[in-house]
Amino acid sequence: MARVQFPEGFHWGTASAAYPTEGSPRADGKAESIWDHFTHRPATVRNGETADVACDGYRRFTDDVTLMRELGLTSHRFSISWPRVLSGGDGAVNPRGMDHYSRLVDTLLAAEIRPLPTLYHWDLPQLLQQRGGWPLRDTAGRFADYADRMARALGDRVNDWVLFDAPFVFTWLGYGLGVHAPGIRDSDAFLRASHTVNLAQGEAFRAIRATSSEARIGTAFSLSPCEPAGDREEDSAASERWHGFANLWFLETALRGRYPNVMGDELPAARMGILDGDFERMRAPLDFIGVNCFSRTFVEPFPGDPLGVEAKPIEPPGTGRGPRTETGWEVWPDALYDIVTRVSQDYETPVLEITANGCGYGDSPTDTGGVEDPRRIEFHHGYLEALARAIDGGADVRGYHAWSLLDQFEWTEGYNQRFGLVHVDFESGRRTLKASGRWYARLADSNGFDT
């Protein structure tokens, strides 16, 4: 029997987000977010569900921190709801909303758990969307001001910050494909939104750094290793273009002040709204790179693509595919090894944190009240073994955050998908630690596991 051991001081954590967990959409002066607005439109979420109650995490956060302590966690990644602390996206701070996050930080610190707040996990204030949302260049400045206010309010206790969660996902699905909030399907809107977010990333980085010179600042990027769907040269070329587009569109910009060359000879600068000096403005020498990784991506050529990338992801071809979670995602542990290794090689061994990794299975309590979920244990075991190989190969990975602590509202899938280490009865709010949670607690305690 072999032993998989992680580096001393490695952070074992969980991840969550405000909209899928907090509920209380109008409590204590909170304003409407784009997800509050979107989910109350017909035919946007499976079964017409919303997160108006969700896990009731706004009121139950002390109970949830007690669960984290029981799990032996040393880090917890959560997000701050922008419209809860700045009702209109700017203007005066809402003191009751700010007090909630201040108390959450204090409760985590008292439990000896590092608070790792994400400033933006997809819930833009609806009032800012009505002014133009992320396609409007001015939103970058609004976000930088918000980042500055959060750093001033919490920076005496919070040292590590995540600027954005999965910027490719919320811009592409929200403004390009229109399947996430705010539900806009317009390739030009996506291009403008992506450029505004890149500007916001650089400006918010500098805003926090000006307030706290010792702060560690990163972004949680949605990253997936891209593989060609076939053996032709054009398949390999398409795979590399999609890697640049889906994985690097917000990472290359921050670290190197340029967009990846995936759209032919020239960027569509006019469509994106690029102005002189923007490349320097969007540069942000991130202190760490957050990695959200769940599976791999197969890619084939897509001639005539209106964006000019001329590539698209497809279902895994052939018979060599891995098993699927109940969400339909392929279970492929080497995906985490591959993307961590590639980012480490391509960006000169940056500090990495796994900011989200997990699986959706619908395990329910048994007659005895427990929740047995062996498939989730097997999933995390396989991905963590792959991660350990990447670390042994030289990757500088400082922590792992399981998505998610609780079963929660999973965006357009509603309550159909359960990712948590803790089962939530959404009728009563009752929490039940799953077998995977007990396994994860033993892992955190020993900083490794036997294979």
Q: What count of Cα atoms within 13 Å lies in the side-chain half-sphere of residue 80?
A: 33
pLDDT above 70 covers a percentage of the chain that reads 100
- Contact call for residues 265 and 311 (beta carbons, < 8 A): no
Could you name the CATH architecture of 10-450?
A: Alpha-Beta Barrel (3.20)
What 3-state DSSP class applies to 291? strand
104-129: b (≥16 Cβ within 10 Å) or e: bbebbeebebbbbbbbbbbbbbbbbb
The DSSP secondary-structure symbol of 173 reads I
Give CA separation, 367 vs 68, 274, 344, 371, in Å: 25, 60, 47, 9
β-pair partners for 397: 352
Using N-to-C axis directions, what is the helix angle for 334-346 and 374-392, rounded to 10°? Answer: 30
Give per-residue pLDDT as tens, 227-279: 999 999 999 999 999 999 999 999 999 999 999 999 988 899 999 999 999 99
Q: Is the pLDDT of residue 169 over 70?
A: yes
Cα–Cα distance between 86 and 92 in angstroms, integer?
7
User: In the numeric block, which tokens belong to residue 171?
Assistant: 């811009």
pLDDT of residue 319: 65
Contact residues for 290 (Cβ-Cβ < 8 A; gap 6+)? 162, 218, 219, 220, 221, 352, 353, 354, 355, 356
Q: Is the pLDDT of residue 443 over 90?
A: yes
pLDDT of residue 361: 95
Q: Is the pLDDT of residue 323 over 70?
A: yes
DSSP secondary structure string, 254-280? Answer: HHHSS--S-SSSS--HHHHT--TTHHH
Phi, psi of 75 (to 5 degrees): -155, 145
DSSP secondary structure string, 68-118? Answer: HHHHT-SEEEEE--HHHHSTTSSSS--HHHHHHHHHHHHHHHHTT-EEEEE
- With residue 289 as reference, give the H or E element that holds it: strand 288-292
Q: What is the pTM of this model?
A: 0.97
